[in-house]
Chains A and B, each alone.
Chain A
Amino acid sequence: MVTLENYEEYIISYVDGALNAAELQELEAFIAHHPELRSEMSAYENTRLMPDTSMIYANKEALLKQAPKRTISLGNWRSYGVAAGIIALIGTAILLWQHTNNNHVATIVNVTINKNTAQAPVGPIAHENPIKKDKAIQQPVIAAVNHRKQARPGIASAPGINRLTVNDHQNNTAQPSQEKPEVNKPVEIARITALPEPKTIDTISPAKVLTAVITPNETMVADKQDEKDPFAWLPIDDTKKQGLKDLKKTVDKTVKEVRSVTNNLKETALVFKFGKKEITLNF
């Protein structure tokens, strides 16, 4: 209740805007009963300060902040890069594995050339390729080509094999009198061709295991192409030429397969997800 003792407090609270509606009404009623206090109330009202809005802080823009440029720390990217690299490697390996698994695999254990072929004719091998026999080229070489299912891991993985033999079965089926005897014959060669003296064998690509994807028919075609003898001009032994031919054959197949894998990859997009981030690799 407003009294002559506390009216000043009420007036000040009123000036401070701290009175509620009831208190304000009470104060107004009290002043109405004490008009002599109206001037005092007016004086208190004059103590209320009014901000000078013309007073402004110049150059406000200097206080504004700009959004920092987004920088991505190198460290993070390094780890992302390594992760992406590892996954890409694994992905490529899986693709390759799936691809090769659906085809016949020929493993060339060794491509060898016998320096001493002229002195050491190899009968069984000559029988194996009658076309070449007609040209009187002795066959030194040889690639042990197998269907994958028939491959004997022990032989295929043995790097240092230089004694080669041919299956009896092959010797029997490949008769010199037949024309194109190998065209329809699956290549199931052999493990190994025999040479009389291992010491005389010179390995051109020693202990190198090349894996290629070829089919028997392709092998036959390749054999026929060999008749053109692209290495005829080379001043080397026929035996070495034959070795080069076989090497060329294998490399051609490998290049072909790599191209097909590359073409597959071109149509493939790998998507890696790291949490919310997604990285798409297009080849």
Chain B
Amino acid sequence: MELKDYNSCVQEWADPLFRFAYKCSGNEEDARDVVQNSFEVLWQKRQEVYADKAKAFLFQVAYRQSVDLFRKKGRIQYTEQPEFSGSSNPGNPDLKRVLERALSQLDEQSRALVLLKDYEGYHYDEIAQITNLSETQVKVYLHRARKTLKNYLVSVENIL
């Protein structure tokens, strides 16, 4: 890929990569480091990476780094976001926040798979390439993660 392809990647994929890394690692500073490192690796390997494969390459690097970071630092610690004030329905917490918590129930790998699936819309085979897993593994892990998330949502709804 050329310089302009690289810069296009920065403009297009820095934000999605940051969101992915942030959700994976649960830490903004770590996520920024992951993004920066991913683009640096892409720049160094730009001769070997085709422009149309650059996104997958970035997520591959970011996935590995995020998982490694998480494993190094231990369990994820999401920063509690302030409650919505003046919510029209305070008894029904925001689904998004519940999902954030549900996501923290998953292991780092499953979380990354769900993020790649939902955030980026990758297919099973693409996720398999990025995570270096088999397609079957991806499918099994993803289905397992969905069940966990669904059960968490249902349990929260039941409590509330």
Closest to A8 in B: B147
Q: Contacting B7 at CB < 8 Å: which of A17, A44, A51, A64?
A: A64
Q: Establish whether residues B102 and A47, one from each chain, have CB atoms under 8 Å apart when the complex forms.
A: yes
**Interface positions of B from 6 to 47, Cβ below 8 Å from A:** 6-7, 10-11, 14-19, 22, 32, 35-36, 39, 43
Residues of B within 8 A of A46 (CB): 95, 99, 150, 153
Number of residues of chain A lying within 8 A (CB) of chain B: 27
* CB neighbours of B39 from chain A (8 A): 63
Using Cβ atoms and an 8 Å threshold, which residues of chain B touch A50?
96, 118
* Cβ contacts under 8 Å, B16 to chain A: 51
Q: Count contacts on B: residues with CB < 8 A to the other chain.
A: 39
Question: What is the bound-complex CA distance between A70 and B32, given in angstroms?
Answer: 32
Q: Kindly provide the distance from the CB of B103 to the nearest chain A CB, expressed in whole angstroms.
A: 7
Does A65 contact B3, Cβ atoms closer than 8 Å?
Answer: yes
Q: Is A12 an interface position by the 8 A CB rule? A: yes
**Interface check B75, CB cutoff 8 A:** no
Please name all residues of chain B whose beta carbon is closer than 8 Å to the beta carbon of A43 when the two chains form the complex: 150, 153-154, 157
Q: Is the CB of B119 within 8 A of A49?
A: yes
A67 within 8 A of B: yes
Most chain B C-beta atoms within 10 Å of own C-beta, residue among A55, A57, A64: A57
B71 proximal to A (CB < 8 A)? no
Contact B153 A65 (CB under 8 A): no
CA distance A206 to B100 in the complex (A): 103
Taking A49-B103, A49-B118, A51-B16 as contacts, is the C-beta distance between A60 and B154 under 8 angstroms?
A: no
**A16–B143 alpha-carbon span in the complex (Å):** 9
Task: Report the 10 A-B pairs with minimum CB-CB distance, sorted nearest first.
Answer: A57-B18, A47-B149, A49-B118, A57-B14, A63-B10, A51-B119, A56-B15, A12-B146, A12-B143, A63-B39
Beyond A12-B143, A60-B11, list 20 extra A-B contacts (CB 8 Å). Answer: A12-B142, A12-B147, A13-B143, A16-B117, A16-B124, A16-B146, A18-B123, A43-B154, A44-B150, A46-B95, A46-B99, A47-B114, A49-B103, A49-B115, A49-B118, A52-B19, A55-B22, A56-B18, A63-B35, A65-B7
